[in-house]
């Protein structure tokens, strides 16, 4: 399924399913075409609401999937999308990597820490025996300048990778893939906490919590100090704005011109 983008609180989110995302990524990987992909939950959408420059970045990405159930519900409420499931980041990349392994397309891992990347590669080798990891590079946990961004792009190109998974956390990873799309002719997938999930460092919530959009409560219980502001403040703000957009009493922010956006990755 691929039915184009629709506006959710100003962010253009794709009406798409797992197969649609996988097919677009594989098409770009085979043909060496740039493609910037992100899976957004409520927090990701709200980063665009609160920062119009970042909103412009999000709306220049090629594919933005409804990672969270509330984002899927928003598409169905506002645009009658008829989506029956979300496109969850960890599941999305697993399906992409299965296809990449079957076709012998090497992957590059960028972000997180050396420990996480090492465990991630062990898990991938066990679960996806045909997958080729062309390279892995941990996050620098700081902003990088344009020269350093070019050096990162050079390393990725030299590795022979045909697609890149980026795990820097929101919104840094969206800034990164948006910027690197200008430098690399391959798909870049911003995958958020998927690195930690697949490395076995984050426990997956029960399926009933995922189905009913309660995954945020699970994450909050695991990391209350780090995540309480995100969920306690942003979730109600998302609901209020969503209902206001639906009732047409609030209008999403307007995306600024692209030339007003600083093209430096995080």
| Residue 209 pLDDT exceeds 90 | no
Are the CB atoms for 177 and 166 separated by under 8 Å?
A: yes
3-state secondary structure of 179: helix
- Residue 6 DSSP label: E
In tens, the pLDDT along 42-94 reads 999 999 999 988 999 999 999 999 998 999 999 999 999 999 999 999 999 99
Question: Residue 266 — pLDDT band, cuts 50, 70, 90?
Answer: very low
Question: Residue 95 — pLDDT band, cuts 50, 70, 90?
Answer: very high
- DSSP sequence for 189-230: EE-TTHHHHHTTSSPPPPHHHHHTT-HHHHHHHHSHHHHHHH
**How much is the pTM?**
0.89
In tens, the pLDDT along 110-140 reads 998 899 999 999 999 899 989 999 999 998 7
| Residue 259 pLDDT exceeds 90 | no
| Residue 263 pLDDT exceeds 60 | no
Question: Residue 262 — pLDDT band, cuts 50, 70, 90?
Answer: low
| Residue 1 pLDDT exceeds 70 | no
| Residue 249 pLDDT exceeds 90 | yes
Cα 57 vs. chain centroid, distance in angstroms? 13
Looking at every residue in the chain, the average pLDDT score rounds to 89
- What does the CA dihedral 162, 265, 112, 107 come to, rounded to 10 degrees? 0
Least confident segment among 25-29, 54-58, 171-175, 192-196? 192-196
């Amino acid at each position: 399924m691929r039915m184009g983008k629709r506006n959710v609180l100003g962010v253009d989110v794709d009406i798409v399913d797992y197969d649609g995302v996988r097919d677009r990524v594989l098409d770009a990987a085979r043909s060496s075409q740039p493609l910037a992909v992100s899976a957004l939950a409520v927090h990701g959408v709200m980063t665009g609401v609160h920062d119009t420059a970042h909103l412009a970045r999000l709306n220049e990405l090629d594919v933005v999937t409804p990672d969270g159930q509330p984002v899927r519900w928003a598409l169905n409420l506002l645009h009658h999308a008829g989506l029956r499931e979300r496109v969850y980041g960890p599941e999305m990349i697993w399906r992409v990597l299965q296809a990449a392994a079957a076709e012998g397309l090497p992957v590059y891992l960028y972000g997180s820490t050396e420990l996480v990347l090492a465990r991630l590669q062990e898990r991938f080798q066990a679960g996806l025996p045909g997958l080729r990891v062309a390279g892995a590079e941990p996050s620098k946990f700081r902003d990088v300048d344009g020269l350093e961004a070019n050096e990162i792009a050079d390393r990725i190109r030299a590795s022979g990778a045909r697609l890149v998974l980026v795990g820097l956390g929101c919104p840094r990873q969206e800034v990164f893939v948006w910027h690197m799309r200008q430098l690399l002719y391959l798909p870049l997938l911003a995958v958020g906490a998927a690195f930690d999930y697949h490395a076995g460092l984050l426990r997956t919530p029960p399926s009933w919590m995922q189905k009913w959009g309660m995954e945020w409560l699970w994450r909050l219980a695991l990391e209350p100090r780090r995540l309480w502001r995100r969920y306690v403040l942003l979730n109600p703000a998302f609901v209020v704005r969503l209902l206001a957009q639906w009732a047409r009493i609030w209008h999403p922010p307007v995306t600024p011109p692209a030339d007003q956006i600083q093209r430096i990755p995080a």
